[in-house]
Amino acid sequence: MNDMRIVERDVDITENKITARGVQVYYGTNHALKDVDVDILDKTVTAFIGPSGCGKSTFLRCLNRMNDTVASARVEGKILLEGEDIYDPKVDPVQLRAKVGMVFQKPNPFPKSIYDNVAYGPKIHGLTRNKAELDEIVEKSLRRAAIWNEVKDRLDASGTGLSGGQQQRLCIARAVATNPEVLLMDEPCSALDPIATAQVEELIDELRAEYSVVIVTHSMQQAARVSQKTAFFHLGHLVEYGETGQIFTNPQDPRTESYITGRIG
Amino acid sequence: MSVGILTLIVLALAVVGFFVGRSRAMSSVGGDARKLHSLPGYYGQTVSLFTAVPAFALMALWLFVQPMVIDARIVGQLGPQIAEDATASKLAMEDVSRIASGLDALQAARGMTNEEMRDMRADFSDIRGRLAEVGVALGSEVNPQIFEMAKDYRIMQARGAMMMSVLVLAAAAAGFVVALRRIHGEFRARNVSETFVRWLLIASAGVAILTTIGIVMSLMSETIRFFGMYPIADFFLGFTWNPQFRGGSDLGLIPLLWGTLYISFVSMVVAVPIGIFAAIYTAEYAPPKVRAVVKPVIELIAGIPTVVFGLFALVTVGPFLRDYIAMPLGLGNSGSSVMTAGLVIGVLNIPFISSLTDDIINAVPQSMRDGSYGLGATKSETIRKVVLPAALPGIVGAILLAASRAIGETMIVTMGAGAAAKLGLNPFEAMTTITVKIVSQLTGDIAFDAPETLVAFALGMTLFVITLCLNIFALWIVRKYREQYE
Ligand SMILES: Nc1ncnc2c1ncn2[C@@H]1O[C@H](COP(=O)(O)OP(=O)(O)OP(=O)(O)O)[C@@H](O)[C@H]1O
Ligand SMILES: [Mg+2]
């Protein structure tokens, strides 16, 4: 792992944004996530890595209760957002998801215009007072997602008519536009070229100033570049969680070491 | 040889062709199927197709053309006077074919030879009596000339059938041999079968289109005849509908058109919201167990024949509306009304709209809903802003289907709204529609040369144009608001 530029960084923020304790997820009888404990810090980028099918997306979807929409899914354990249990019956999942935004693994733009895709969140939450403000949010979000130059002349065109990578960035813009406190990104760069990837990573770094960002990635380099904390999942277990530099240079668990050196995957 | 036996022979030949073709392909490469261009079955298939398809096509064509040719020849024998009079020659042809079929029955019952049949004469023997014995009753004594023609008719038919058998069998055999000789290891049998499938599909689409064109053409020509007898302006702009069988009728379209649109409108006001809401419930809100019960129950309504709905309108809805709404409000005392028919047609259409809409909503990908929930939208926001717009083209199609059904509905209108052509705004009054009047103009003793009957075609044409416009309008809506998802 010598080719990776692992910058020494201090994680001086110690405030927990999300605390997960003993999280179990079942899809019917399939026990997909086993006893996961994680503390996700505020104003930090946390990377989830691990082989395909190990439960990264599943755990991510627990954090904003997207698993509620999967009929067979059952979540046990405690997940606290700023000390409040998000699975408490008193909590409104709709409000929760406005605070904890999500970019899905598969790009899923609405079959609406590019503009309406981005304006969707601000409109339903009433974030703007007039059209000019909305225009501004749309432009700013598209710029942050590094897609503005490609679509600025065709904001009325359908979002589903974009290329796969453009759709992915449109979905990022859409998530950013609602101003969430936590942004969950499931492989946001899987279909992007190196330039767009660099721009999205820049965005992630920028978001860190205000939000906490969780990113799932299959690229070790990306995890090393953008994150301060890294969690390694394997077969439904959270194997190791710690500072990114630590995980990549000095993993404690032999499974982590095998994975980052390319022996299991 | 009868058509049935001929069909069986050709089919048998095709089946044999399949096996022979397959084994020939196999033996051409020494039994190693990997050396063939296509799977062995495809070779057999080409032989089957070449055997059966041209033979059956020929047979269908022959069966279609032969009666026309024979009829033309017989009519030719009738002499110019009768041949030119369409009605007289039609009657004569009916006599000929009836006697001919009587002779067929007679020959079969008595086991008579062809010579004996040929020698039979109408002026010597009691043909009518003998035909009556085998169950063919004739209205009058047999005219010798007609009888001779019937005998000719039978001979021509027998000859035609004979020729057809020979030609069809020859076509089948030729196809068999040609296809078999083409088979070798390199032969692209798979592509041949692909081409065949394409032509089969084109032919099916062609049949659908041609029949539509045929229907429109026949409607068109009768409509033009009608406008030759009745002024076009009086038809389209006339405010009275009052057909008289002695002539001098008023055949104004407007009251009928008004009734049709009014009743359809009432029915759509009932069916569209309820149907769509029911679909949203079953597709988005109902737990799977409830959905498994509710959906089939709603769809059950679609299986009830409309005449049963008509009864419901006549004995339940009509009197109810009259006694509890129309009379207390002083809106009339008619049991049949626009409201009755409209409500009942609406109920009939609810399952149509809801079941189609439910399927369409279900086809919207879950990832679309996830995207919306992920941004903090509620369920109803997601349905209104994402699911329904994505499903809109399909929903419009469903509504359109229901609208055409409402416009074309006849039974419920007859029983629920009556048959009085009236122009009025009061929904508790009896009115009627175009379809009801088409039926009533064509029942009873009719002759297709009076405007009173031909008007049915003009009415039919009007209905056709209305539905066409509806379709175009819907297409336009769909184009304009389409939100396409992959
Ligand atoms: N909707 C679902 N229904 C049933 N099982 C599911 C569902 N989603 C995920 N699973 C199962 O849960 C396990 C974890 O899946 P998950 O999508 O979390 O993997 P992942 O780590 O995100 O993999 P990848 O890197 O390929 O995206 C898998 O075994 C998968 O089969
Ligand atoms: Mg995943």
Q: Is the CB of A58 under 6 A from ligand 1?
A: yes
**Nearest bound ligand to the CA of residue A55:** 1
Euclidean distance between CA atoms A178 and A120, whole angstroms: 9
What global pTM score does this model have? 0.77
The label of the residue with tokens 């008023």 reads B250
The label of the residue with tokens 């029983």 reads B415
- Condensed to tens digits (0 to 9), the pLDDT of residues B342-392 reads 999 999 999 999 999 999 999 999 999 999 999 999 999 999 999 998 898
**Contact assignment for B370 to A98 by CB distance below 8 Å:** no
Strand, helix or coil for residue B85 = coil
Euclidean distance between CA atoms B347 and A163, whole angstroms: 45
The number of distinct structural domains making up chain A is 1
User: A57: Cβ–Cβ under 8 A, 6 or more apart, which residues?
Assistant: A105, A186, A216
Q: What pLDDT score was predicted for residue A8?
A: 47
Q: What pLDDT score was predicted for residue B284?
A: 93
Ligand 2 is an ion; its neighbours by CB within 5 Å are: A 57, 105
- Give B113-174 as a DSSP string: -HHHHHH--TTTS-HHHHHHHTT---SSPPPHHHHHHHHHHHHHHHHHHHHHHHHHHHHHHH
Question: Do A232 and A256 touch, CB atoms closer than 8 A?
Answer: yes
Asked if the structure places residue A137 within a domain, the reply is no
Give just the sign of the alpha carbon dihedral B8, B9, B11, B15: positive
Asked if the structure places residue A176 within a domain, the reply is no
Asked if the structure places residue A26 within a domain, the reply is yes
Q: What is the mean pLDDT of residues B106-118?
A: 80
**Contact assignment for A101 to B367 by CB distance below 8 Å:** no
The ipTM of this complex is: 0.89
Q: What pLDDT score was predicted for residue B52?
A: 92
Euclidean distance between CA atoms A7 and A104, whole angstroms: 28
Q: What pLDDT score was predicted for residue B453?
A: 87
Asked if the structure places residue A1 within a domain, the reply is no
**Residues, chain B:** 486
Q: How would residue B483 be classed by pLDDT, with cut points 50, 70 and 90?
A: low
Euclidean distance between CA atoms B481 and A114, whole angstroms: 15
- Two tokens, residue A31: 């026990």
Check whether B277 has a pLDDT greater than 90. yes
User: What phi and psi, each to the nearest 5 degrees, are found at residue B385?
Assistant: -95, -20
Asked if the structure places residue A200 within a domain, the reply is yes
Q: What secondary structure letter does DSSP report for B91?
A: H
Euclidean distance between CA atoms A242 and B64, whole angstroms: 84
Question: Do B141 and B129 touch, CB atoms closer than 8 A?
Answer: no
Mutate to test the pocket of ligand 1, among A58, A214, A218 (most ligand atoms within 8 A of CB): A58
Asked if the structure places residue A154 within a domain, the reply is no
Q: What pLDDT score was predicted for residue B243?
A: 86
Strand, helix or coil for residue B217 = helix
- A158 CB neighbours in chain B (<8 A) are 483-484
**Residues, chain A:** 265
- Two tokens, residue B196: 């065949």
Question: Do B343 and B413 touch, CB atoms closer than 8 A?
Answer: no
Instruction: Tell which residue, B223, B260, B212, B218, has the closest CA to residue B453.
Output: B223
Q: Is the CB of A56 under 6 A from ligand 1?
A: yes
Asked if the structure places residue A159 within a domain, the reply is no
- Rounded to the nearest integer, the mean pLDDT of chain B is 88
- B486 CB neighbours in chain A (<8 A) are 160
- Two tokens, residue B36: 């063939």
Euclidean distance between CA atoms A229 and A245, whole angstroms: 8
Q: How would residue B485 be classed by pLDDT, with cut points 50, 70 and 90?
A: low
Euclidean distance between CA atoms B414 and B422, whole angstroms: 14
Q: How would residue B406 be classed by pLDDT, with cut points 50, 70 and 90?
A: very high
Q: Is the CB of A217 under 6 A from ligand 1?
A: no
Q: Is the CB of A57 under 6 A from ligand 1?
A: yes
Euclidean distance between CA atoms B170 and A91, whole angstroms: 82
Question: Do B164 and B62 touch, CB atoms closer than 8 A?
Answer: yes
Q: Give bridge partners of residue B251 from the DSSP assignment.
A: B241
- Condensed to tens digits (0 to 9), the pLDDT of residues B439-470 reads 988 887 667 778 888 899 999 999 999 988 98
Give B337's Cβ-side CA count (13 Å radius). Answer: 25
The per-residue pLDDT string of chain A (265 residues; one tens digit each, 9 = 90 and over) reads 444 444 445 455 568 889 999 999 999 999 999 999 999 999 999 999 999 999 999 999 999 999 988 889 999 999 999 989 999 989 999 999 999 999 999 999 999 999 999 999 999 999 889 999 999 999 999 999 999 999 999 999 999 989 888 999 999 999 999 999 999 999 999 888 999 899 889 989 988 988 899 999 999 999 999 999 999 999 999 999 999 999 999 999 999 999 988 876 5
Ligand 1 atom 12: residue of nearest CA: A32
Mutate to test the pocket of ligand 1, among A26, A36, A56, A232 (most ligand atoms within 8 A of CB): A56
- A125 CB neighbours in chain B (<8 A) are 376
Check whether B116 has a pLDDT greater than 50. yes
Q: Is the CB of A148 under 6 A from ligand 1?
A: no
Question: Range of A52's domain?
Answer: 16-108+181-260
Give Cα A119 distance to the centre of its chain: 20
Q: Give bridge partners of residue A214 from the DSSP assignment.
A: A46, A184
CATH number at residue A90: 3.40.50.300
- Condensed to tens digits (0 to 9), the pLDDT of residues B72-92 reads 888 888 777 777 777 777 778
Residue A225 exposed, middle or buried by CB count within 10 Å (0-12, 13-18, 19+): buried
- Condensed to tens digits (0 to 9), the pLDDT of residues B278-310 reads 999 999 999 989 999 998 998 888 888 999 999
Question: Do A111 and A159 touch, CB atoms closer than 8 A?
Answer: yes
The label of the residue with tokens 């979807």 reads A61
Q: How would residue B482 be classed by pLDDT, with cut points 50, 70 and 90?
A: low
Q: What pLDDT score was predicted for residue A13?
A: 55
- Condensed to tens digits (0 to 9), the pLDDT of residues B148-184 reads 888 888 889 889 999 999 999 999 999 999 999 988 8
**Nearest bound ligand to the CA of residue A235:** 1
User: What phi and psi, each to the nearest 5 degrees, are found at residue B482?
Assistant: -60, 135
Q: What is the largest CA-CA distance in chain B?
A: 98
- SS3 for B9-30, per residue? HHHHHHHHHHHHHHHHHHHHCC
Euclidean distance between CA atoms B15 and A115, whole angstroms: 62
Residue ranges in B375-449 assigned as alpha helix (H): 379-382, 388-408, 411-417, 434-441
The label of the residue with tokens 């492989």 reads A187
Euclidean distance between CA atoms A220 and A198, whole angstroms: 14
Asked if the structure places residue A59 within a domain, the reply is yes
- Two tokens, residue B2: 């009868």
User: What phi and psi, each to the nearest 5 degrees, are found at residue B232?
Assistant: -65, -35
Question: Do B179 and B46 touch, CB atoms closer than 8 A?
Answer: yes
CA angle B255, B261, B266 (to 5 degrees): 125
**Contact assignment for B370 to A121 by CB distance below 8 Å:** no
Question: Do A217 and A231 touch, CB atoms closer than 8 A?
Answer: no
